[in-house]
A = this chain, B = another copy of it.
Amino acid sequence: MLTARYLLRALRFCSSAPCPRHKPSAKLSVRDALGAQNPSGERVKVQGWIRSVRSQKEVLFLHVNDGSSLESLQVVADSSFDSRELAFGSSVEVQGQLIKSPSKRQNVELKAEKIEVIGNCDAKAFPIKYKERHPLEYLRQYPHLRCRTNVLGSILRVRSEATAAIHSFFKDSGFVHIHTPIITSNDCEGAGELFQVEHSSKIKLPEENFFNVPAFLTVSGQLHLEVMSGAFTQVFTFGPTFRAENSQTRRHLAEFYMVEAEISFVKSLQDLMKVMEELFKATTVMVLSNCPEDVELCHKFIAPGQKVISFVDKPQYIYSLNIISYTEAVEILKQASQNFTFTPEWGIDLQTEHEKYLLKHCGNIPVFIINYPSALKPFYMRDNEDGPQHTVAAVDLLVPGVGELFGGSLREERYHVLEQRLARSGLQEAYQWYLDLRRFGSVPHGGFGMGFERYLQCILGVENIKDVMPFPRFTHSCLL
């Protein structure tokens, strides 16, 4: 039998064997054209959509964009090329010579020899108007067209870059990626704010469940990651999660993405916070390196101001310097001169107004809050066995502008402690499998989740979460 190594060699050989491939084409993306060093008239072909047209007496200027970068490529053509079809939004293929631009506004331009209009754009009907800056709310009405604007283009490129960065970070750190299930029969945690899933023809007949049991859309991959953390010491997932919340705020979606990680043999929240911070930093460095113009566009036009991620330039923004306990946080709130709608008191859930105050109090840099009241948190969090103010080893990371960005905890790995906790909640039977994980080679472990859209809002300064999601879903709205 052929071994994997042999096959690999064969496959490599095969790739380099002469084969009837197409001759490399002179087709270039706009990004590659713009990045050309010292162009000297190479013949190239560029395809994209017209973003601007300027017709002068003898020359015609077009800007062509293909989504590979925020910047468009300037095409310079003889005025004989001028035609009504060369209009904003039309798709074109331009062939010509790539040359150094005489203007200071760009390094490179394309001297057109042939311009072909591929698809016209009906300007009257097109909801995106030439030279207009449409508000984000306006664009939300056109989920099938808004990606054709500069601002959505930038947001989507950043989203793509951040996605790649997150996968790289975990891979480079030795994590195993797990596709945790989207449909699940665990229904206890979400308590009422769940989407149920059923065969479309059976939706009115719940006695005939497709899966034999009621099935729901996942609210978190954590419990399934914990399964995996009994065999792999570092695992992560990055996928969609769902909440059937009836809220139409700028912070909530029915479908959103979470990055979740679970680490075995972890004994302290410090170890978790270190990974959270590394993830945040590595992703942000990658995004800022690879698409600085896109980030800058968002800062300039969406969030003009200095607050956006300006905390990252502060040396204090280093793990372990901004950690306060829940108990300390409540003390800070109690001593505040501000009047809160919800009176701060040990035992209450921290509200948005509290988070905002705490962030301001700490100098508008990210703050970790640790050790929350046991009564506020779900059954799986590790008991700190303290008292009389009984806490669990939970941690949230608050960031300016967004509030809670990360949430995590150590998990209760002690069989008997967990068993009692489940029994008290009447969940012992449903979670027998979860108890099993503690019966067979249990290890101390912990993990966290990061809201991906909130992360994007945080680094870009985008106010409404609907604008960082390609196709946002929320109460009363599921367009396309």
A196 to B300, CA, bound (A): 41
* Interface residues as binary, A235-271 with B (CB distance below 8 Å gives 1, 0 otherwise): 0000110101010000000110100000011000010
Is A275 an interface position by the 8 A CB rule? Answer: no
Is A318 an interface position by the 8 A CB rule? Answer: yes
Q: Are A49 and B244 in contact (CB under 8 A)?
A: no
Q: Are A254 and B210 in contact (CB under 8 A)?
A: yes
Which of A119, A180, A244 is most buried by chain B, counting CB atoms within 10 A of its CB?
A119
Q: Are B233 and A29 in contact (CB under 8 A)?
A: yes
* Interface residues as binary, A467-480 with B (CB distance below 8 Å gives 1, 0 otherwise): 00111010111111
Known: A144-B433, A227-B144, A292-B5. A203 touches B200 (CB 8 A): no
Q: Which of A149-202 contact B (CB under 8 A)?
A: 152-153, 156-157, 159-160, 163-164, 167, 171, 174, 176-187, 192, 194-201
Shortest A14–chain B CB gap in Å is 6
Is A438 an interface position by the 8 A CB rule? Answer: yes
Known: A93-B265, A442-B119. A178 touches B160 (CB 8 A): yes
Shortest A6–chain B CB gap in Å is 7
Q: What are some 16 contacts across the A-B interface (CB < 8 A)?
A: A10-B313, A14-B312, A47-B264, A47-B443, A91-B441, A118-B442, A119-B413, A144-B230, A144-B437, A147-B232, A156-B228, A181-B470, A197-B197, A204-B206, A213-B478, A224-B471
A305 to B2, CA, bound (A): 9
When distances are taken between beta carbons in the complex, the residues of chain B under 8 Å from A11 are 281, 284-285, 288, 312-313
Shortest A151–chain B CB gap in Å is 12
Residue of B nearest to A293 (CB): B4
Q: Are B66 and A232 in contact (CB under 8 A)?
A: yes
Q: Are B174 and A296 in contact (CB under 8 A)?
A: no
Q: Are A244 and B91 in contact (CB under 8 A)?
A: no
When distances are taken between beta carbons in the complex, the residues of chain B under 8 Å from A204 are 204, 206
A4 to B157, CA, bound (A): 15
Q: Which of A108-135 contact B (CB under 8 A)?
A: 118-122, 125-126
Is A320 an interface position by the 8 A CB rule? Answer: yes
Residue of B nearest to A8 (CB): B288
